[in-house]
Amino acid sequence: MPFSIATWNINSVRLRMPIVERLLDEYAPDVLCLQETKVPDELFPEKAFRKVGYPYIAFHGQKGYHGVATVARRPIEVVEKRRFCDIEDSRHLSVTVQAGGKTILVHNFYVPAGGDEPDPEINRKFRHKLDFVAEMNAIRAEHGEVSASVLVGDLNIAPLEHDVWSHKQLLNVVSHTPVETENFEAMRRAGGWVDLMRHNVPPEQKLYTWWSYRAQDWEASNRGRRLDHVWSSPNLVPSFAGYEILRAARGWDRPSDHVPVIARFALD
């Protein structure tokens, strides 16, 4: 079986634990990275994860907002819970996991959404988002003969033209504005990261991982965005065995507005 890593903005892990359990039961990723867990560390549902075969658990949370967690079927070690922009808002967690004779450093990120107004002069949330992405330049795709890196999460930016349902209509909408997409792609390239979801997918093919709650019928309108990402260091590309966007999960009971993405690697 290939080694697999899933990423999912769950929008409250306690509220949506039944569909998290469904994901783990039906797809059994080796590692699951969750964002927007919305729970302080002392209330994280560790017992529920252990019960379904995920005894290795790391979390970085706070009450009611943000938060990230990484759970696994194999041992993980916490490396860092980095603070960005001098704000304690639980948006990063990195762990290591062993696979294929390599120590893989897994970064789990929840980038700020940025509010509604794409002007950093009048919208402090948008300013925070731009500053956060700028600080992500320090996160490099470290790798060596027996090491590699993966970066996943809700990065809240759809960087490419066909990562949104309408490039023209969303150019002035937060998540797809030029200042975001250009800085985002520059940061990814500077860090040496490979965008695995676009690695073998034509640029003109639409890719979405998020559909708004505001849509009366999200499936019929299909106005999505690719806000969730899977990146790796270059030395993992030869073992990359593909990925799956679990679009059907958007229709599960009490769903998140994001769906899981599962990346697989030909590693044991």
Phi-psi region of 203 (alpha: psi -120 to 50; beta: other; left: phi over 0): alpha
Phi first, then psi: what are they for 113, rounded to 5°? -70, -40
CA distance 9 to 205: 23
Is residue 9 a known part of a binding site?
yes
Please return the burial class of 254, using the count of CB atoms within 10 Å of its CB with bins 0-12, 13-18 and 19+.
Answer: exposed
Q: Which one is catalytic: 154, 176, 229, 243? A: 154
Q: Which one is catalytic: 30, 92, 110, 163? A: 110
Phi first, then psi: what are they for 183, rounded to 5°? -65, -35
Is residue 36 a known part of a binding site?
yes
Active-site residue 154, yes or no? yes
Listing DSSP states for 11-48 in one string gives: S-TTTTHHHHHHHHHHH--SEEEEE-----GGG--HHH
Which residues touch 169 (CB under 8 Å, ≥6 apart)?
none
Q: Name the token pair of 53.
A: 């075969």
Single-letter amino acid, residue 257: D
CA distance 175 to 63: 25
Active-site residue 110, yes or no? yes
Is residue 257 a known part of a binding site?
yes
Number of neighbours of residue 142 by Cβ within 10 angstroms: 12
Q: Which of 44, 15, 24, 103 is nearest to 94 (CA)?
A: 103
Is residue 119 a known part of a binding site?
no
Element (H, E) at 182: helix 178-190
Binding-site residues for Mg(2+): 9, 36, 154, 156, 257-258
Binding-site residues: 9, 36, 154, 156, 257-258
Q: List the catalytic residues.
A: 110, 154, 258
